[in-house]
């Protein structure tokens, strides 16, 4: 999936633990085959190559994922949008950009983006991208989905506790062998040596979005690598967003969404959702939390 997965299981011996971990890896690889945009043979690539041409019949599983992704687009007023993949990549975050693109270039870069042009037909189980050149991608939800599925599989096999860690996106269940809860340390990306919170993760997922190394500065404004699919402008003001949710899929998607929505709108939206919490680090190093999180601000 282009990202590293670390799998931890609590089991009675090494051999059974290895068997469980192998099963989880097989499951993650199966999902990758379904949702990868790189694999030309994947159902996702077929949807993309048929954009503006015809609907594509897909597995129920992929249909459901697209349907839930559209649901998150509605929930976030389009801040989250799997058709972000149709964007022209005019922004570079590797230091190679010397000037800001023009307003019209930026606007044009998102002309094909729009979740409302993803047409679903439940009876036929088809997905149709109605505009030529449109594309979808699961970069901000796929890792979480795969982690949820791997967790579900292991629970169904009787594994009582574990962690699926998808490059820092954590999904836990059960307790540690000594009976204590799994805990996650939250660090400030601007001061990595100093974890500012150690929080229990009881049967839920914790996902962080943010790559403080990938950004570009124009006129003293720091533009982050996550782009608002509605405007074409990169998100500003935030260096990392951590979301706690019952499912990794939702946590993954919401972390990216809050990045795009910004501190105020993002926290507002999170505060309206039951069982979902969020911690934001802004580009000044300040920490903002949703209502139910209590940490000592440093
Ligand atoms: P990470 O790479 O740390 O997992 P995110 O979880 O925030 O970062 O996901 C970023 C990825 O999500 C991008 O690389 C891209 O593939 C995809 N993406 C970016 N912006 C959006 C968006 N607004 N809506 C949906 N997906 C997005
Ligand atoms: Mg994400």
The DSSP string of 125-183 is TEEEE-STT-----TTTHHHHHHHHHHHHHHHTT---EEEEETTEEEEES--TTSPPPE
Q: Is 156 exposed, middle or buried (0-12, 13-18, 19+ CB in 10 A)?
A: exposed
What the block records as the tokens of 280 is: 């934001």
DSSP structural state of residue 85: G
In the prediction, which pLDDT does 225 show?
86
The DSSP bridge pattern shows strands 162-166 and 183-188 to be: unpaired
Model pLDDT, residue 1: 67
At residue 233, the pLDDT reads 94
Q: Is 80 in the pocket of ligand 1 (CB under 6 A)?
A: yes
Q: With beta carbons less than 8 A apart as the criterion, state whether 147 and 248 touch.
A: yes
pLDDT value for 298: 45
For the stretch 187-246, pLDDT in tens is 888 877 778 888 999 999 999 998 777 888 888 888 888 899 999 999 989 999 999 999
CA 19 to centroid of ligand 1, rounded, Å:
32
pTM check: above 0.75: yes
Q: In this structure, how many other beta carbons lie within 10 angstroms of the beta carbon of residue 94? A: 9
In this prediction, residue 159 carries a pLDDT of: 98
Residue 253: the pLDDT is 97
Beta bridge partners of 227: 234
The pLDDT of residue 297 is 52
Structure tokens, 97:
């950009």
Average per-residue pLDDT for the chain: 93
Residue bearing the CA closest to ligand 1, atom 12: 140
Q: How many CB atoms are located within 10 Å of the residue 185 CB?
A: 9
Dist. CA 284–CA 273, nearest whole Å: 27
Chain centroid, CA 133 distance in Å? 23
Where the chain has pLDDT below 70, the residues are 1, 296-298
- Residue indicated by tokens 């993760």: 201
The pLDDT, as a whole number, for residue 213 is: 75
What is the pLDDT at residue 43? Answer: 97
DSSP category for residue 276: -
Spacing, Cα 176 to ligand 1 middle (Å) = 31
Distance from C-alpha of 256 to C-alpha of 261, rounded to nearest angstrom: 9
CB-based contact 192:66 (threshold 8 Å): no
Ligand 1 center to residue 40 CA distance, Å? Answer: 21
Which is the closest atom of ligand 1 to the Cα of 137? 16
CA of 178 to the centre of ligand 1 (A): 36
Instruction: Find the ligand nearest to 1 CA.
Output: 1
Task: Report the distance separating Cα 221 and Cα 237, nearest Å.
Answer: 8
d(CA 295, CA 287): 10
Residue with CA closest to ligand 1 atom 26:
140
């Amino acid at each position: 999936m282009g990202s590293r997965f670390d799998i931890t299981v609590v089991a009675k011996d090494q051999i059974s633990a290895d068997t469980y971990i192998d099963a989880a890896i097989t499951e993650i690889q199966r999902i990758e085959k379904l949702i990868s945009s790189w694999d030309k043979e994947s159902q996702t690539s077929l949807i993309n190559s048929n954009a503006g041409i015809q609907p594509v019949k897909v597995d129920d599983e992929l249909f459901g994922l697209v349907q839930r992704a559209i649901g998150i687009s509605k929930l976030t007023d389009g801040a989250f949008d799997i058709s972000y993949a149709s964007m022209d990549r005019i922004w570079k975050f590797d230091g190679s950009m010397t000037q800001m693109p023009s307003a019209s270039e930026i606007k044009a870069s998102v002309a094909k983006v729009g979740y409302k042009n993803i047409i679903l037909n439940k009876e036929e189980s088809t997905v149709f991208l109605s505009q030529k050149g449109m594309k979808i991608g699961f970069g901000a939800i796929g890792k979480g989905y795969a982690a949820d599925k791997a967790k579900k599989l292991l629970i169904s096999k009787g594994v009582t506790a574990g962690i699926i860690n998808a490059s820092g996106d954590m999904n836990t269940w059960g307790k540690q062998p000594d009976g204590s809860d799994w805990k996650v340390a939250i660090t400030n990306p601007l001061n990595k040596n100093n974890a500012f919170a150690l929080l229990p993760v009881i049967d839920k997922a914790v996902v962080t979005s943010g790559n403080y190394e990938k950004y570009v500065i124009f006129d003293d404004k720091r533009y982050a690598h996550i782009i608002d699919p509605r405007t074409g402008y990169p998100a500003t003001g935030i260096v990392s967003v951590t979301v706690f949710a019952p499912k990794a899929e939702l946590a993954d998607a919401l972390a990216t969404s809050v990045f795009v929505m910004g501190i105020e709108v993002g926290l507002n939206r999170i505060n309206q959702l039951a069982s979902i919490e969020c911690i934001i680090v802004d580009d000044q190093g300040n920490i903002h939390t949703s209502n139910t999180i209590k940490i000592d601000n440093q």
